[in-house]
Amino acid sequence: MPIPQALEALSSLLGDRFTRSKPDLEAHGQSEAHFTPCPPDGVAYPETTQEVAKIVQICASERCPVVGYGAGTSLEAQAMATQGGIAVDFGRMNKVLEVNAEDMDVRVQPGVTREDLNTELRATGLFFPVDPGANASLGGMAATRASGTTAVRYGTMRDNVLGTQTVLADGRIIRTGTRARKSSAGYDLTGLLVGSEGTLGLMTELTLRLHGQPEAISAAICGFDTIRNAVECVMATIQMGIPMARIEFLDEDCVEAVNAQSTLNMPLQPHLMVEFHGSDSGVAEQAERFGEIAADFGGEGFKWSSRPEERNALWEARHRAYWSVLALRPGADGVVTDMCVPISRLADAVEETRADIAASTLRGPIIGHVGDGNFHALLLVEPGNRAEMDEALNLSGRMAERALAMGGTVTGEHGVGLGKRKYMRAEHGDGWDAMGQIKQALDPHNILNPGKLVPGN
């Protein structure tokens, strides 16, 4: 057990920016989700890339696990130090380093949150679109390949990270990517790091793609008789090439939850919430065409608005949906699922999932980024009730199997972490071993977030 030497060396490197206080360890051993807490042995708060490199060097020489930590908002406990070791908390590396408005990119430290970045960008006419709901850190979002409501238009973190500065498992500092918009110069290391959940390196800087704030934005809401009609409306909208900025589905249960915590007063039926970005006339045209498609599928009460206060009320309600659903059963824990299928299978996927939940003893409203084929059921479980938790995990497991049977993925945007690792073999087959070979090559002593993502360890 060589960790004591690592702890001592980190303490003399970082002084009071390395802590072993119980509250700090406990805070870094929790997760937003239902996993059993598991505190690290120490928490480091580096301020520079050089310090991160030194932390990793110390841990490498002592074979001590190193786990990156952002805002603590991940839903699959990616940042939990399940084999002990050091949490590297990027909270002090939270500076926006360089805004290149002409090139529409920005260089940030990983601890900057997406809301802080957008606040800082406000005067530039640019914004960073990836929006997972939570005010996550950008480093964490990159590490889990996050996306959210706007991915249907602006892509996921895969599409919006242009480059990184990364500390590898032996402490080497590399730069990946360039500031050019494209490149054919060798392996896409940036793309490999995005979604690697801290198992291949610790990203200490990100270069992100920005987008112009749209000239006009309008939003709309529309109710449907059935889940199938709502989802088929989404499929038709995507296939017509209408460039939706957001297109979100809420089932009847979710509508009930959101109504209770907002002023939206939606009729109790499945709904779509949509947003259009573009020029004034472009937005009007998109809204009109979407309205026509919605009417074809029996959409009711369609109205759109460009008034910021109405839009904000809508998306604030959407972003609070997780908490609104939890409030349906006060005190409950949420088990959040995350399946993603080809658009053509989406109606089947949602209907089958809805029926499966209905046949259980649990309540589980469904909400989703349906333009991507991605949706979540939020299963409400009484804390400490083992039977309910088992039922929730069984439902979640059947969703994962359903996703794979339909040609989809067991996780659209939450990542692998602790909850989805057991499905990696089913999703990737021998490809999972190839991931393991890459991990072994870049982290031969398995110090970076051990026990996660790849086979073995």
Contact stretch for a second copy (CB under 8 A) within 55-63, 84-92, 96-104, 380-388: 96-104
Nearer to a second copy, 19 or 449 (CB): 449
Contact stretch for a second copy (CB under 8 A) within 175-183, 265-273, 294-302, 390-398: 175-183
Query: Could you tell me the smallest distance in angstroms from the CB atom of residue 46 to a second copy?
Result: 20
- Under rule CB under 8 A, which residues in 320-349 are in contact with a second copy? 338, 340-344
Query: Could you tell me the smallest distance in angstroms from the CB atom of residue 288 to a second copy?
Result: 11
Query: What residue type is assigned to position 237 of the chain?
Result: T
Query: Could you tell me the smallest distance in angstroms from the CB atom of residue 53 to a second copy?
Result: 12
Judged by CB under 8 A, which of 122, 175, 303, 422 binds a second copy?
175
Residue 258: burial class (beta carbons within 10 Å; 0-12, 13-18, 19+): buried
Judged by CB under 8 A, which of 84, 133, 214, 397 binds a second copy?
214
Q: Indicate whether 192 belongs to the interface with a second copy (CB under 8 A).
A: yes
Q: Indicate whether 313 belongs to the interface with a second copy (CB under 8 A).
A: no
Q: Indicate whether 303 belongs to the interface with a second copy (CB under 8 A).
A: no
Query: Could you tell me the smallest distance in angstroms from the CB atom of residue 10 to a second copy?
Result: 24
Q: Indicate whether 173 belongs to the interface with a second copy (CB under 8 A).
A: yes
Nearer to a second copy, 16 or 102 (CB): 102
Q: Indicate whether 171 belongs to the interface with a second copy (CB under 8 A).
A: no
Nearer to a second copy, 363 or 369 (CB): 369
Nearer to a second copy, 84 or 155 (CB): 155
Query: Could you tell me the smallest distance in angstroms from the CB atom of residue 396 to a second copy?
Result: 14
Q: Indicate whether 281 belongs to the interface with a second copy (CB under 8 A).
A: yes
Binding mask 354-393 for a second copy (x = CB under 8 A): ------------------xxx-------------------
Q: Indicate whether 285 belongs to the interface with a second copy (CB under 8 A).
A: yes
The C-alpha angle 176, 179, 185, rounded to 5 degrees, equals 55
Query: Could you tell me the smallest distance in angstroms from the CB atom of residue 183 to a second copy?
Result: 4
Contact stretch for a second copy (CB under 8 A) within 6-14, 81-89, 291-299, 429-437: 429-437
- Under rule CB under 8 A, which residues in 24-83 are in contact with a second copy? none
Nearer to a second copy, 42 or 368 (CB): 368
Contact stretch for a second copy (CB under 8 A) within 46-54, 97-105, 268-276, 292-300: 97-105
Judged by CB under 8 A, which of 262, 306, 440, 457 binds a second copy?
440
- Under rule CB under 8 A, which residues in 217-256 are in contact with a second copy? 235, 238-241
Judged by CB under 8 A, which of 19, 31, 49, 147 binds a second copy?
147
Nearer to a second copy, 169 or 221 (CB): 169
Query: What residue type is assigned to position 15 of the chain?
Result: G
Tell me the C-alpha distance between 187 and 27, whole Å. 37
- How long, in residues, is the chain? 457
Nearer to a second copy, 32 or 310 (CB): 32
- Under rule CB under 8 A, which residues in 387-416 are in contact with a second copy? 403, 407-416
Judged by CB under 8 A, which of 187, 265, 331, 384 binds a second copy?
187
Using CB under 8 A as the binding criterion, the count of chain residues that bind a second copy stands at 90
Instruction: Reduce the secondary structure of 328-369 to three states and give it as a string.
Output: CCCCCEEEECCEECCHHHHHHHHHHHHHHHHCCCCCCCEEEE
Query: Could you tell me the smallest distance in angstroms from the CB atom of residue 357 to a second copy?
Result: 21
Tell me the C-alpha distance between 178 and 151, whole Å. 23
Instruction: Reduce the secondary structure of the chain to three states and give it as a string.
Output: CCHHHHHHHHHHHHHHHEECCHHHHHHCCCCCCCCCCCCCCEEECCCCHHHHHHHHHHHHHHCCCEEEECCCCCCCCCCCCCCCCEEEEHHHCCCEEEEECCCCEEEECCCCEHHHHHHHHHHHCEECCCCCCCCCEHHHHHHHCCCCCCHHHHCCHHHHEEEEEEECCCCCEEEECCCCCCCCCCCCHHHHHCCCCCCCCEEEEEEEECEECCCEEEEEEEECCCHHHHHHHHHHHHHCCCCEEEEEEECHHHHHHHHHCCCCCCCCCCEEEEEEEECHHHHHHHHHHHHHHHHHCCCEEEEEECCHHHHHHHHHHHHCHHHHHHCCCCCCEEEECCEECCHHHHHHHHHHHHHHHHCCCCCCCEEEEHHHCEEEEEEEECCCCHHHHHHHHHHHHHHHHHHHHCCCECCCCCCCCCCCHHHHHHHHCCHHHHHHHHHHHHCCCCCECCCCCCCCC
Q: Indicate whether 430 belongs to the interface with a second copy (CB under 8 A).
A: yes
Phi, psi of 448 (to 5 degrees): -90, 110
Query: Could you tell me the smallest distance in angstroms from the CB atom of residue 280 to a second copy?
Result: 10
